[in-house]
Amino acid sequence: MAKIPLYQESKDALYQRLQTNDQGLSRATASERLAANGHNVLNQQKTSSLLQKFIAQFKDFMIIVLMVAALIAGLTGEVVDAVIILIVVVLNAIFGVFQEAKAEEAINALKEMSAPNATIRRDGQVMTVKSDELVVGDIVLLEAGDIIPADLRLLDVASLKVEESALTGESVPVEKAAAVLTGDDLPIGDRHNMAFMNSNVTYGRATGVVVATGMQTEVGRIAGMIEAADETTTPLQANLTQLGKSLTILILVIAAIVFGMGMWRQAESLIDMLLTAISLAVAAIPEGLPAIVTITLALGTQRMAKRHAIVRKLPAVETLGSTDIIASDKTGTLTQNKMTVEKVYEDLHLVDAHTVDFDREDRLAQVMILSNDTKVTADGLAGDPTETALVQYQMDQNYPVSQVLNAMPRVAEIPFDSERKLMSTVHPLADGRFLIAVKGAPDELLKRVTRLAQNGEVSALTDANRQQILATNHDMATQALRVLAFAYRIVDQVPIDLTSENVENDLILAGMVGMIDPERPEVAQAVADAKAAGIRPMMITGDHRDTAAAIAVRLGIIDAGETDAVITGAELDAMDDATFAKKVSDYAVYARVAPEHKVRIVKAWQKRGKVVAMTGDGVNDAPALKAADIGIGMGITGTEVSKGASDMVLADDNFSTIVVAVEEGRKVFANIQKAIQYLLSANLGEVLTLFMMTMLGWQILAPVHILWINLVTDTLPAIALGIEPMEKNIMKQKPRGRKSNFFSGGVLGGILYQGLLEGGITLFVYWLAITYPVHQATQMAHADALTMAFATLGLIQLFHAFNSKSIHGSIFSVGLFKNKFFNWAILIAFALLAMTILVPGLNGMFHVAHLDLFQWAIVLAASFMMVVIVEIVKFFQRRVVK
């Protein structure tokens, strides 16, 4: 028979189950349990050395292909090309190690959060021990300011409030009680007789018994989920891997055909054809691609850092651009994680809080700050967040808080009690009488109210008044406001018998306030921008259903009355995975969820092919942050655990920064796509030129020609395309999604026809030169034709770089000369290409001849035709799209 949950056990049954008692464990028993079960710590994540991390970078398929290409280039004597390829590979690995160096910090950060010491009772004596020495059955004593050292079942409670937002997502401290709870599978936030490791005591005191330590605690379970979570492959990584495999197969096939045909035609020697086939394979591989991708991503991270988005893993930049879903934690992310007075109900009127102007003698203002345990210190306000919000509100309204507190010191009190839900304090008045200030839950306080303060006059509370007050309370509650009521009573002397029955009766209602953890002011616009970009924002929180729904409506995540879009963790538990997978798109708000719910939500969307970004700041968010395609942590309010599990951290905790990051991600992808189209179409032109020359029996370009063109055109111009300015309306496009790749959106078609065009124009120039030679000597005619083909094949790629500044847009609409680095890259590449022909000595090394002005004119005109033809094709493509 399964054991019943700990929160359902009576004290005696609990003691029997844990084999302990009020006096605590004996030292001998504690030592035995510590030896048997281990210390109260979280497992340390296994780490790898920097060398192991560096070596792991070379497991990527594209990197392996490039290293093979470098080896082949070196064996064929092209040492410069081999060295450049290897430099690219090593730099890529260094970038990878640097960006991922902190990926193992999540579990270690959890360990550092543990409380260093705990106050316990052993052998009937109170003592302080290191928290890692706690064992199940220890009796722990708690008071305000303590970090809870292990999971506890509370036994005795005195006005205890615990802040659990990092674990549950609730922004308001939870009131705890010792009473046995009923109900099966209660969420963590509803287990009011339990206290959990690493949460904070904000008010009161309590005694509890340790029921779980280390990895068996709720925080330990989260640590286990982080440790077990699979690393997701980003769309960028998947695309590059697939691209590398496809290119390799295609290149090997073409190289084999060229080699076979050359040998069959007996146009070249065996060694010459072998070198040609190898040089073709090396030239066809875009060895500059990893460098271009890395540099583009790195520059993107720099731009994002300036706008408060800190990227920890380079591929995360591009992943943001393909995001379909942003699943956001509410507390501290969408909201400010700071209780704020929003509505004030006084004189039977409900008004916005900022419109009220209290005078010093206003009883509502007095009760708000007097029946309050907030301490005003030099460093600010200290105390329970709800109470500090009341004092802060009065300060913001320029109410003389310090003067009133000094003039009316507390002389007696009845502390807050979670059962009666009231707090009362007694203060002297100037006339010698005393003010009893009472604060509490409206429904409980109204039971003790007989009169009403209205416009400075006190009158009897009528049934109509009572109904209006209750209706107002209900309306504020439905708006997710936390409502507190305030009352008072003036007596001649301090009551001798300070009991609730004696003090909290015949009260005069001063008014009510509605409080909320308000949404961040910029978030509503960010949500609207995300929706305009085709991204679906969702809220995932540990708060109650009504609170979550009201905030979601205010932010525009759901529409008013759209209650079917809200689901609780309990309702989610009632669904199996298959049912939830079918209905996941129906929900935009998840309330009262546990950490495993968040992971389940993320994975349900991923199964539907969606790219999911998850934001969060608490310990409870870490597993989902790691499971998501991109985890986004909060830099200010976030725990070290959530930051360590994230791919990106918001330095300003600003949800709108995510939209900025998405925009940057889309720009990065678009620029990488431009570079890929440019590189592959150019390489296809080279392959086609060699292939057709071999098929036609023409004198083919030498390996040095192909490798030099490849080196000149595949580096600086391609890198320059990676830093092109952002195109217009990039945030009006729909997300690409997981199924898209670098060949989507007409890019593959562009690569094919542009590559064929480059090869065709080059072959035409060679044919023209060999058919209508300037020189009559056959040897010189071949030399001129080969040189013109070499120059055309190089220049046509530089002209095509201008075409590649936009996949579909005209080069005249994107700005021909905006990108200064691009302009210099083209000039440098042209100079490197031209000097092999123009500089004496170099032309001999490259086996090319000098060209006269007429021949150069043909080369330039033919190369420029690439721009003209592509512009015409783009024009018709845009007309078809419209």
Domain span holding position 589: 318-336+520-659
Question: How much is the pLDDT for 72?
Answer: 67
CA angle 144, 150, 153 (to 5 degrees): 80
pLDDT of residue 109: 44
Q: Among 112-126, 263-277, 349-363, which range has the highest average pLDDT?
A: 349-363
- Where are the alpha helices (H) located in 558-654, listed in sequence order? 569-573, 577-583, 595-607, 622-627, 640-644
Q: Which residue has the higher pLDDT, 249 or 229?
A: 249
Q: How buried is 61 (Cβ within 10 angstroms: 0-12 exposed, 13-18 middle, 19+ buried)?
A: middle
**Residue 315's closest CA among 341, 297, 328?**
297
CATH number, domain containing residue 328:
3.40.50.1000
pLDDT bin (cut points 50, 70, 90) of residue 105 is very low
Residue 734 has pLDDT above 80, yes or no: yes
230 vs 721, higher pLDDT: 721
Q: Which of 81, 138, 146, 329 is catalytic?
A: 329
Q: Write out pLDDT tens, residues 666-694.
A: 888 888 888 888 988 888 888 888 778 87
CA distance 420 to 734: 54
Residue 342: pLDDT band by 50, 70, 90 thresholds? very high
Look at the chain and report how many structural domains it folds into: 4
Q: Is residue 735 part of a domain?
A: yes
Burial category of 70 from C-beta neighbours within 10 Å (exposed 0-12, middle 13-18, buried 19 and up): buried
- Mean pLDDT in the chain? 82
347 with 430, same domain: the answer is yes
- pLDDT at residue 50 greater than cutoff 50: yes
Distance CA 29, CA 836 (A): 86
Say if CB 251 and CB 46 are below 8 A apart.
Answer: no
Query: 526 and 479 in one domain?
Result: no
Has residue 53 been placed in a domain?
no
Looking at residue 152, what is its pLDDT? 94
Residue 106 has pLDDT above 50, yes or no: no
Residues 397 and 329 in one domain: no
pLDDT of residue 54: 72
> Cα(72)–Cα(93) distance, rounded to whole angstroms?
21
CATH number at residue 130: 2.70.150.10
450 secondary structure, DSSP code: E
CA atoms of 612 and 258, how far apart (whole Å):
45
Q: What percent of the chain has pLDDT over 70?
A: 83
Give the C-alpha separation, 552 to 545, whole Å.
10
DSSP state of 621: G
Is the pLDDT score of 579 beyond 80?
yes
Q: What does the pLDDT read at residue 99?
A: 44
Q: For residues 179 and 289, state if they share a domain.
A: no
Domain boundary among 463, 485, 516: 516
- Neighbouring CB atoms inside 10 A of 204's CB total 22
**Is the pLDDT assigned to residue 714 strictly greater than 80?**
no
Six token digits for residue 784: 């001129």
Nearest one of 583, 507, 519 to 554, comparing CA atoms: 519
| Complete DSSP assignment for 608-648 | TT--EEEEE-SGGGHHHHHHSSEEEEESSS--HHHHHT-SE
SS3 per residue for 185-222: CCCHHHCCCEECCCCEEEEEEEEEEEEECHHHCHHHHH
CA angle 626, 627, 630 (to 5 degrees): 70
pLDDT single digits (tens) 324-340: 999 887 877 788 878 89
pLDDT band at 722 (very low <50, low <70, confident <90, very high): confident
Q: Write the single-letter amino acid at 100.
A: E
The answer to whether position 483 is within a domain reads yes
Structure tokens at 184: 């099966």
CB atoms within 10 A of CB 41: 15
The confidence score (pLDDT) of residue 779 equals: 58
The answer on 844 and 750 residing in a single domain is: yes
Could you give phi then psi for residue 551, rounded to 5 degrees?
Answer: -65, -40
User: What's the pLDDT score for residue 81?
Assistant: 57
237/230 Cα distance (integer angstroms): 15
Q: What gap in Å lies between CA 877 and CA 867, rounded to an integer?
A: 15
Under 8 Å between Cβ of 82 and 70: yes
Residue 479 in this model has a pLDDT that exceeds 90: no
Per-residue three-class SS string for 319-372: HHHCCCEEEEEHHHHHECCCCEEEEEEECCEEEEHHHCCCCCCCHHHHHHHHCC
Q: What is the CATH number of the domain that holds 697?
A: 1.20.1110.10
* pLDDT digit string, tens, across residues 167-209: 766 656 888 888 888 877 788 878 889 999 878 887 788 999 9
Euclidean distance between the first and the last CA atom of the chain, given in angstroms as a whole number: 68
The answer to the question of residue 50 being in a domain is no
- CA 374 from chain centre, in angstroms, equals 35
Domain presence at residue 541: yes
722 and 854 both lie in a single domain: yes
* C-alpha pair distances (Å), 875 with each of 95, 808, 813: 40, 8, 12
- Identify the pLDDT of residue 209: 94
Is 216 in the same domain as 260? no
Exposed/middle/buried for residue 226 (C-beta within 10 Å: 0-12, 13-18, 19+): buried
Spatial distance between the Cα atoms of 745 and 736, rounded to a whole number of angstroms: 9
One domain, residues 324 and 260: no
Give tens-digit pLDDT for 640-669: 667 777 888 887 777 788 888 888 888 888
Q: What is the rounded CA–CA span in Å between residue 276 and residue 253? A: 14
- pTM: predicted TM-score of the whole model, two decimal places: 0.66
| Phi/psi at 242 (5° precision) | -65, -40
**Residue 101 domain-assigned?**
no
Whether the predicted pLDDT of 102 surpasses 50: no
Q: Is the dihedral of CA 725, 727, 732, 734 positive or negative?
A: negative
Q: Which residue has the higher pLDDT, 840 or 794?
A: 794
Tokens at residue 118, please?
């705990």
Kindly provide the b/e burial profile for residues 336-357, where b requires at least 16 CB atoms within 10 angstroms of the residue's own CB. Answer: bbebbbbbbbbeeeeeebeebe
501 and 601 part of one domain = no
Question: Among residues 659, 683, 701, which one ends one of the domains?
Answer: 659
pLDDT by residue (tens digit) across 805-817? Answer: 988 888 887 777 7
> Residue 52, by phi and psi: left (phi above 0), alpha (psi -120 to 50) or beta?
alpha
Q: What is the pLDDT of residues 488-520, one digit of tens each?
A: 999 999 988 888 888 999 999 999 999 988 888
Based on the fold, state whether residues 739 and 859 are members of the same structural domain: yes
Average pLDDT on 93-99 reads 58
In a domain, 82, yes or no: no
430 shares a domain with 406: yes
Q: Is residue 815 part of a domain?
A: yes
Assigned token pair, 609: 């092919």
Do residue 760 and residue 797 come from a single domain? yes
Q: Which of 201, 228, 255 is the last residue of a domain?
A: 228
Q: What is the mean pLDDT of residues 45-60?
A: 66
* Catalytic status, residue 185: no
Please tell me the number of Cα atoms within 13 Å of 519 on its side-chain side: 25
The residue among 672, 676, 689, 673 whose CA lies nearest residue 796 is 689
Task: Report the SS3 class of residue 709.
Answer: helix
